[in-house]
Amino acid sequence: MKLVFALQARGISKSFFGYPALSNVDLDIRRGEVHGLVGENGAGKSTLMKILAGVYAKDSGFVRLNGEEVDFSHPVQAYKAGISTVFQEFNLIAERTVAENIFLGREPRVHGFVSRREMTRRTEALFDTLGVDSINPAVRVRQLSVAQQQIVEIAKALSYEPRIISMDEPTSALADHEVELLYGIISRLTARGVSILYVSHRMREIFDLCDRITVLKDGQLVATHDAAELTEQELVRLMVGRSLSALFPPVAPGTTVGEVALELEHAGNGLVDDVSLVLRRGEIVGMAGLQGSGRTEVLEGISGAAPFTRGFLRLNGERALIRRPKQAIRKGIAHITEDRKATGLTLNQSVMDNALAVIRSTQPSKAGKARHRANQLFLELELAARGPDQEIKFLSGGNQQKVVLAKWLLAEPRIILLDEPTRGIDVGARHALYSVIRSLAAAGHAILMVSSELPEVIGMADRILVMKDGRLAAELPLGSSEEAILQAASGVSASEVAA
Amino acid sequence: MRASTALGSAPRIFSSTTTIVYLVFFVVLLLSTVIAASAGRSFFTQGNISVLLTSTTVLGFVSIGQTLVILVGSLDLSVPFLVSIASVLSAGVMAGQSANMASGIATALITTTLIGLVNGLLVGFVKINGFIATLSVGLIVSGYLFSNYRGSTGKAAPALASLGEASIGFVPVMTIIMFLCLVATVALLAKTRVGLHIYAVGGDPAVARMSGIHNAVPIIVTHSLSGLFAGIAGLVIVARLGVGSPGVGEQGGYDLLSIAAVVLGGAVLAGGRGSLWGSLGGILIFATLDSVMGIMQLNPYLKDVVRGLIIIMAVAVYARSSIPRTTFRFPVASEGRRASVSTARGEL
């Protein structure tokens, strides 16, 4: 009897540090189908994928592969059992060749010696299967484009002769014509009976590719449906599944939009150009746009990390020149960066050392007093830590972000730039951060918030700026729809987006 | 014919950086010839070439091991002490008797290989940083040496001593042996799994682990081989001097010189990138400099100034010529900037 399902997972649960990331999730993948896995950020898609890939161990539940129960403790076990994974972060060594990367750890040998000829031959065979002929197996991976690297990853996944390939946001770095190439590769794979678990945020791809769709929300299974049964609106409703007002607190009482705090006029820094915008006290301005559209670079221009070289920047109506972050800090600008671990925190230092980092470098004479104020802020922000001396790497993402906020608030900024403020933060902690942001606006700060999550931008911002290709593409009012933002961000009409 | 030849197929043995290493070498050689000639002397005398090759041999052996260790992402600071301990142990066991030659060589090489293995275990399993682990092991060996040996000790077997003086044409036999070891190690790197894994672990330990490699294995293999080659270097010294000496490795400064030669040869100190041919080029550059400065009878301290300047200039050239065109996952607008960050990190 031939089994219909390549994979059956039942009752999968996983928590991190006591926070449940997945609870009791079921997943069935049929042979040769493309199975979409969708949900908002933090819904548990990546966790589920990493459990199937052997990166994380599940807390409970079981996984059957072709009817046999499997339990992985190392990614290689998953590969060997027939589940290959193409992660969002590439697993390639830049200095090694394409063929060496694909067969890393399993290099073919002839008479005990690694055979490059055999390795090249098999690599070419893999590329033939994928219908790709534009990648030389002997080229170093660092010489390839992102799209080519993606193909190498898929070829590597295919080299294990998997029954299932899971792909995490495989198109997030690809241009449109490259996405077409990926579609072709996927249809070739499914024709061979390989199943694809496809994780993506992009509705169009989900509906173009997937036979069935599983929706996760807050770590729980919402439903699995045939793609043909669903409309896009229905899918979005399943994904969001709660009114935005529950997650996003209302405007704090006493918030008044006041005078202009910052103004950019035709500003540019080589990364973005001709950006004109106004931030007012008490106002939260959202900034949306696709990856690489220049959102982060606008913030970096303002904060001096990548200073503007063209146009004007005015603070409280007066022209200001900001060439270095230190000058921006002294002028009352705080920049909460996108990559908390790399540029927001020094992970092996204490909570207090991290909180005092800005004040120590810009106003060292106030550092003593700031210590007291920092402890107050920790209380106000309801920081959950064992104490100010705990190393920050042991805190959850939400609490780490609170320390980053405390660090900047100690410098008493008037303008706060937030870049993806809730990235990697679970839903409960998000709500707390949103409340903090609201109260900062109420206290008269001007806030510019970049986010990739449209519900967040829509739920929090008083106005929405949309970036596209390094320029400001649109300014949308309160209450704009996701479609309107997407349209401005991608430059296609609303009907195309929906199609 | 694959369409991507536009990308250029990566040459397997001589990477572009290695080509530049040899260009630098030929420039140094040319300048040396001109300088020697301007002082009315000739650089290309048989005697001078012999001296030049001899001086490459000891550093050559040490640098083969050092290259492996640097490729895997570690360092070996214990090499000078391993050179010394090999010299005193072998000379001590041989005691001037050719009959003892084999046992003397075996004692020395087994000892240094085992110490290399300890280095490897400390780095690979105990996960102590390579710099710290080999520095500490080096200190321990150094303490043992100076508490048990005073001045020169033992005597080389006559057969070993004559091997040290033998040459084919103007090329010393020891140099030929060094070259054969280098070729064998090149084959190890290119044709065995562990060789490829050395590059993988040095290039990205996380990716290597995800691909099912036991990262400790290449680390232990490279450190053991570094011990072995440092031991052979010690034997070459015994063959030449006729006696063992507890301070001979330190006097040679083989730890920093070998690291400098490897870096001069285009390897990246962080690991994953470099080649033995490059390291050989680095050694030849140093030997040529030493030789011409000897001919010109320069102040020996000035030598170090020149060496230092050459390293800075060469590595600056490599950094410019091999800007990694790594494409990052979400780069588009900020690609240029991140690439330059990675250059700064990856190329020293």
- Per the CB < 8 A criterion, the answer to whether A266 and A286 are in contact is no
Average pLDDT, chain B: 86
Which of A55, A74, A87, A95 has the most B C-beta neighbours within 10 Å, making it the best mutation to test the interface with B? A95
Contact list, B200 vs chain A (CB under 8 Å)? 93, 96, 100, 104-105
Tokens linked to A344: 């927001």
| Banded pLDDT at A244 (limits 50, 70, 90) | low
Give residues with Cβ within 8 angstroms of A379, minimum separation 6.
none
Please indicate, yes or no, if residue B224 is contained in any of the structural domains: yes
pLDDT attached to residue A2:
55
Separation of alpha carbons B186 and B191, rounded Å: 8
- Per the CB < 8 A criterion, the answer to whether B206 and B212 are in contact is no
Which has the minimum average pLDDT: A84-88, A479-483, B262-266? A479-483
Please indicate, yes or no, if residue B195 is contained in any of the structural domains: yes
Instruction: Answer whether B333 sits within 8 Å of A297, measured CB to CB.
Output: yes
Instruction: Answer whether A90 sits within 8 Å of B212, measured CB to CB.
Output: no
Contact list, A89 vs chain B (CB under 8 Å)? 329
Tokens linked to A103: 């067969």
Give residues with Cβ within 8 angstroms of B310, minimum separation 6.
B24, B28, B264, B285, B289
Contact list, B329 vs chain A (CB under 8 Å)? 88-90, 146, 172-173
Beta carbons within 10 angstroms of residue A418's beta carbon: 28
pTM for the model: 0.78
For B234, the domain range is: 70-279
Please indicate, yes or no, if residue B270 is contained in any of the structural domains: yes
**ipTM of this predicted complex?**
0.82
Of B272, B324, B325, which is closest to A93 when you measure between CB atoms?
B272
Of A113, A114, A145, which is closest to B327 when you measure between CB atoms?
A145
Beta carbons within 10 angstroms of residue A435's beta carbon: 16
Average pLDDT, chain A: 89
Beta carbons within 10 angstroms of residue B19's beta carbon: 16
pLDDT at B335 over 50: no
Separation of alpha carbons A196 and B299, rounded Å: 70
Separation of alpha carbons B309 and A224, rounded Å: 67
Please indicate, yes or no, if residue B225 is contained in any of the structural domains: yes
Alpha-helical regions (H) of A22-92: 45-52, 75-81
pLDDT tens-digit profile of A78-134? 999 999 999 877 789 999 999 999 999 999 999 999 999 999 999 999 999 988 888
pLDDT tens-digit profile of B120-145? 999 999 999 999 999 999 999 999 99
Q: How many domains are contained in chain B?
A: 1
How crowded is the C-beta side of B67, counted as CA atoms within 13 Å? 31
How crowded is the C-beta side of A66, counted as CA atoms within 13 Å? 12
pLDDT at A367 over 60: yes
Contact list, A128 vs chain B (CB under 8 Å)? none
Helix or strand (DSSP H, E) at A112: none
Contact list, A88 vs chain B (CB under 8 Å)? 329
| DSSP type of residue A345 | -
Please indicate, yes or no, if residue B320 is contained in any of the structural domains: no
Please indicate, yes or no, if residue B14 is contained in any of the structural domains: no
Separation of alpha carbons A205 and A174, rounded Å: 12
pLDDT attached to residue B13:
47
Three-state DSSP class for B194? helix
pLDDT attached to residue A243:
53
pLDDT at A481 over 90: no
Contact list, B328 vs chain A (CB under 8 Å)? 146
Please indicate, yes or no, if residue B83 is contained in any of the structural domains: yes
Please indicate, yes or no, if residue B272 is contained in any of the structural domains: yes
Give residues with Cβ within 8 angstroms of A149, minimum separation 6.
A90, A92, A141, B327
- Per the CB < 8 A criterion, the answer to whether A85 and A75 are in contact is yes
Report all structural domains of chain A as residue ranges with CATH numbers, in order of start. 5-241 (3.40.50.300), 246-498 (3.40.50.300)
Which of B1, B5, B7 has the most A C-beta neighbours within 10 Å, making it the best mutation to test the interface with A? B7
Alpha-helical regions (H) of B39-167: 46-71, 79-94, 101-124, 130-148, 158-165
Instruction: Answer whether B212 sits within 8 Å of A74, measured CB to CB.
Output: yes
Higher pLDDT, B10 or B276: B276
Instruction: Answer whether A136 sits within 8 Å of B210, measured CB to CB.
Output: no
pLDDT attached to residue B3:
38
